[in-house]
Amino acid sequence: MVMNLSIRAVGPHQKKLAGGISLLVQGGKLYAARDVHLNATSRWWADDLLIWLHAVHRIVQRWGPAVPDVELFLDVADWPAQDSADPQLWASQDYWPVLQHCKSSQSVGLTVPTWHFYSYNATAEYFSRTEEFNELYPWDSKLPQAYGGGLKYFRYQGLTDNQRPFEGNLSDALDVEGPKPELRKLFKQFVKEVVQRPDIMYDKGRPMLEWAAFKMTILLDGITCSSKIWQLMALGSVVLREQSNYFAFYDKRLRKFEHFVPFWEHHPSEITWAVDWVHENDAAARNMALRAQAFARNELNAEALECYWLMLLHEYAKLLRFKPGTKRAVSPGGPGENESAGEGAQYYVPMEDWFAEEDEHGNLEKMFKNWPRDEVRRRAGVLELLPAVDMHSTAVRHVQGAAQQQGT
């Protein structure tokens, strides 16, 4: 069952352990699975998981009893954990939907904001600076070229709906048909050898702010969803976006030719059509860039992310057919497990205790290079998290005050 996925070897990196953890919200408090530890995974996934845990912890700190009782599973793996075509998924009621930062049309997980929103200080560094970007790089002064960069990461193609068609005689250089082609390197080679246009460039990358100098920016997803999309939208250039069939939590609100210009729905050569469209429709492209910028600023800022988390948890809680924290929900070994959660729990511990245990007994500074002592508890201090104030009590007082005013 899903609870067995806590730390596991999955996906294309079968020798690496991806990080996941089951969480319980009960009585306005957050609990974490006792037997899941950061030292069982890689430094990369340990970082990502820790950021997410602090993000969820801060939401529960702020809203307390306004957060419904709920049990969930967070998974930091970059590839979808659940395939709707897998018959085992539907054969048992013990599988929960996995919460991940990205999904495909073939996966059944739930999408939540990626950890990069918090570690990149997205609101302070991007969304609150849109006017500054527009002043530094006015539309009419931008270079009439399309620029993209970044060569890291393979592309996960384990599900059939995400397999990428290609063209040109490049399959000998890179494994196009395999489960993890280096798609960005392949696209760079395609632009250089096949496209051969001076107004279309793709290279190893440059500082993100410098992308704003170009009227068009090219977005290729990474292993799955790329965090560059909301960074590029904030810069005020038109985003030419690969149609990879991977989706983040906000993607259903983004629309083609309203917020971005699509390409590579069928073939990578569609990049030339996308660039030509922008050249021929300058005014429409400028308005598109402004709409995308406003979307990022208004709907992906720190407050908006918190609203999404709260909405998701409330809707998810309505669908549960068990009481969160009961034996049926949390047995890590399947039916017959005797441990339970909640009051007197053996499976879950308070989130604060879990953080302290990882710092004091996880030996993380020995396992991970340059991992500072007490980093687990201190990490919240360098993330972009909303203040740890009691929003629930504040909201209750506001409602009571409004009711009293109406009654007088």
Task: Give the CATH number of the domain where residue 291 resides.
Answer: 3.40.50.2000
How many Cα atoms sit within 13 Å of 134 on the Cβ side? 14
Domain match, 169 and 254 both? yes
Residue 214 backbone phi and psi in degrees, to 5: -100, 145
Q: Establish if 117 belongs to a structural domain.
A: no
Structural domain count, the chain: 2
pLDDT number for residue 344: 36
- Looking at per-residue pLDDT, the higher value among 120 and 330 belongs to 120
Domain match, 15 and 70 both? yes
pLDDT number for residue 126: 98
How many Cα atoms sit within 13 Å of 180 on the Cβ side? 10
Domain match, 160 and 245 both? yes
Chosen domain end from 276, 299, 322: 299
Q: Establish if 310 belongs to a structural domain.
A: yes
* Structural domain boundaries, residue 313: 2-112+302-407
pLDDT in tens, 220-256: 987 778 889 999 999 999 999 999 888 999 999 999 9
- Looking at per-residue pLDDT, the higher value among 97 and 63 belongs to 63
Chosen domain end from 251, 270, 299: 299
pLDDT number for residue 184: 86
Domain match, 292 and 306 both? no
Reported pTM: 0.86
Domain match, 53 and 172 both? no
Residue 268 · residue 244 · CB < 8 Å: no
Domain match, 103 and 232 both? no
pLDDT number for residue 98: 85
Domain match, 279 and 320 both? no
Q: Is 175 helix (H, G, I), strand (E, B) or coil?
A: coil
Token representation of residue 363:
């030996």
pLDDT level of residue 278 (50, 70, 90 thresholds): very high
pLDDT level of residue 143 (50, 70, 90 thresholds): very high
For range 291-317, the mean pLDDT: 98
126-140 b/e (C-beta count within 10 Å ≥ 16 → b): bbebbeebbeebebe
Alpha helices per DSSP H over 320-350: 327-330
Chosen domain end from 299, 330, 363: 299
Q: Establish if 143 belongs to a structural domain.
A: yes
Query: Distance (Å, rounded) from C-alpha 382 to C-alpha 368?
Result: 19
Place of tokens 């604060």: 352
Residue 339 has pLDDT above 60, yes or no: no
Domain match, 136 and 257 both? yes
Domain match, 157 and 272 both? yes
Domain match, 76 and 195 both? no
Domain match, 9 and 100 both? yes
Domain match, 25 and 37 both? yes
Residue 108 backbone phi and psi in degrees, to 5: -115, 10
Token representation of residue 169:
């005689």
Q: Establish if 402 belongs to a structural domain.
A: yes
Q: Establish if 180 belongs to a structural domain.
A: yes
- Looking at per-residue pLDDT, the higher value among 308 and 4 belongs to 308
Residue 86 has pLDDT above 80, yes or no: no
Residue 373: burial class (beta carbons within 10 Å; 0-12, 13-18, 19+): exposed
For range 349-374, the mean pLDDT: 92
Residue 11 falls in which region: left (phi positive, over 0), alpha (psi -120 to 50) or beta: left
Residue 105 falls in which region: left (phi positive, over 0), alpha (psi -120 to 50) or beta: alpha
Q: Is 303 helix (H, G, I), strand (E, B) or coil?
A: helix
Question: CA dist 332 to 126, 135, 213, 321, 325, Å?
Answer: 41, 55, 52, 18, 12
Token representation of residue 152:
């890291």
Residue 101 · residue 312 · CB < 8 Å: no
